[in-house]
């Protein structure tokens, strides 16, 4: 019993002490304490939530449908106005390279259009407490074209001069691949006849020439190549000329001759002697008279019989 009363007395004393402490903390000098609290809150608001405004220049990314592409060059950058937490806005200037405006144009039809740019129809990743309020310019002109894909021939380009008295034999030029799949705006693709390799140096070269993995280029930056390199091979040989000879006919009366034009390297043409050759005229698939001449084995494939025969 005595123990219980002793505990009860201690509890009462603690209660009285707590009340005195609370009264002293909250009621004594309360005007000064209230002022201190208000000042602290004001300082916190000023430091952590001061409202600011900023202007930044950022890239503009326009997303189009896969089967369309711009045929003009739209605006690449825009100026944005942001408001909100001043400290965060100040830091945006340091990271502006990571910011960009995104505008979805996947539903835009082919042709000329003027599109709006405003905070409600663009996307930009801004920190919490900062919002986009304006974009300049707010309207831009774009022109969309349909995209075409075609297999385009590859043309080998050269630079430099071959030795005097030599030439590139065009018929020997081989490009692998011969054609490359090209993708680009329809208006350009309809006029594109070929794509070119980078220029291959032929200065003072002769004989067989092989160039591996030569870059293939196209002048329009909006065009995409499925393959960007090609292998090129060709032959540089003696300059060719023509020579016309009247040679004996294989059949017919004695002394009958046919006139034939030969095309090939000059030194080989000089070896041709009318008395060593015989020819005839035959019909080709189109029903035309063409010459047929028995060339010596060493000249076959190196000299071309060009003109139809003329009877004499």
> Two tokens at 248?
């004996």
Asked if 224 and 258 sit in the same domain, the reply is no
- Alpha helix positions (H), the chain: 2-26, 30-49, 86-92, 186-189, 266-269
Judged by DSSP in three states, 223 sits in coil
Q: Domain check: are 108 and 158 in the same one?
A: no
Between CA 168 and CA 170 the distance in angstroms is 6
Q: Tens digit of pLDDT for each residue in 161-186?
A: 999 999 999 999 999 999 999 998 89
Q: What is the pLDDT of residue 2?
A: 43
Looking at the fold, whether 132 and 154 belong to one and the same domain comes out as: no
Inside any domain, residue 142: no
Q: Are 61 and 124 in the same domain?
A: yes
Give residue-wise pLDDT tens across range 40-71: 665 655 555 568 888 999 999 999 998 998 88
- Residue at 294 is within a domain: yes
179 and 115 share one domain: no
Dist CA 138 CA 127 (whole Å):
23
Q: Which is higher by pLDDT, 115 or 23?
A: 115
Q: What is the CATH number of the domain that holds 291?
A: 2.170.120
Residue 26 confidence (pLDDT)? 54
Token pair belonging to 86? 């001043």
> pLDDT band for position 276 (50/70/90)?
confident
The single residue listed with the structure tokens 């220049």 is: 57
Cα(235)–Cα(170) distance, integer angstroms = 8
Considering the domain architecture, whether residues 117 and 60 belong to the same structural domain is answered as: yes
**Which CATH number covers residue 85?**
2.170.120.30
Q: Domain residues for 38? A: 2-45
The DSSP bridge partners found for residue 123 are: 102
For 64-120, the pLDDT digits (tens) are 998 998 888 889 999 999 999 888 888 887 776 789 999 999 999 999 999 999 999
List the structure tokens of 159. Answer: 């630079």
The reply to whether 199 and 255 lie within a common domain is no
Into how many domains does the chain fold? 4
Residue 151: pLDDT band with limits 50, 70, 90: very high
Residue that terminates a domain, selected from 137, 160, 185: 137
Question: Would you say residue 177 lies in a domain?
Answer: yes
User: Is-cis flag, bond preceding 177, omega within 30?
Assistant: yes
Q: Which residue has the tokens 């990314």?
A: 61
Residue 286 banded pLDDT, cuts 50, 70, 90: confident
CA–CA distances in Å: residue 50 to residues 19, 55, 84, 130, 298: 40, 17, 8, 11, 95
Tokens of residue 240, six digits: 């060719």
Tell whether 133 and 56 lie within a shared domain: yes
- The answer as to whether 289 is a domain residue is yes
pTM: 0.59
User: Nearest Cα to 175, choosing from 230, 222, 247?
Assistant: 230
Residue 220 vs residue 124, higher pLDDT: 124
Query: Of 6-10, 271-275, 284-288, where does the model show the most confidence?
Result: 271-275
């Amino acid at each position: 019993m005595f123990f219980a009363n002793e505990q009860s007395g201690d509890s009462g004393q603690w209660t009285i002490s707590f009340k005195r402490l609370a009264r002293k903390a909250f009621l004594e000098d309360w005007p000064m304490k209230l002022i201190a609290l208000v000042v602290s809150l004001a300082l916190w608001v000023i430091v952590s939530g001061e409202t600011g405004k900023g202007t930044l220049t950022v890239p503009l990314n326009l997303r189009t449908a896969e089967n369309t592409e711009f045929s003009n060059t739209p605006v690449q950058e825009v100026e944005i106005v942001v408001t909100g937490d001043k400290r965060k806005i100040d830091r945006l200037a340091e990271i502006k390279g990571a910011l960009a405006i995104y505008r979805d144009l996947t539903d835009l039809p082919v042709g000329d259009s003027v599109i709006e740019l405003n905070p409600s129809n663009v996307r930009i990743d801004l920190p919490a407490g900062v919002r986009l309020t304006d974009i300049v310019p707010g309207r831009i002109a774009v022109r969309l074209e349909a995209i075409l894909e075609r297999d385009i021939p590859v043309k080998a380009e050269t630079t430099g001069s071959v030795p005097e008295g030599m030439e590139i034999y065009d018929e020997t030029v081989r490009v692998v691949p011969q054609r490359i799949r090209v993708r680009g705006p329809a208006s350009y693709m309809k006029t594109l006849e070929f794509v070119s390799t980078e220029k291959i140096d032929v200065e003072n070269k002769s004989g067989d020439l092989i160039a591996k993995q030569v870059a293939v280029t196209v002048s329009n930056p909006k065009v995409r190549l499925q393959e960007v390199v090609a292998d090129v091979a060709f032959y540089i040989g003696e300059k060719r000329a023509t020579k016309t000879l009247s040679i004996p006919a294989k059949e017919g009366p004695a002394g009958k001759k046919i006139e034939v034009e030969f095309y090939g390297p000059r030194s080989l043409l000089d070896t041709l002697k009318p008395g060593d050759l015989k020819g005839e005229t035959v019909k080709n698939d189109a029903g035309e008279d063409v010459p047929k001449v028995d060339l010596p084995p060493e000249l076959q494939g190196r000299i071309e019989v060009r003109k139809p025969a003329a009877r004499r």
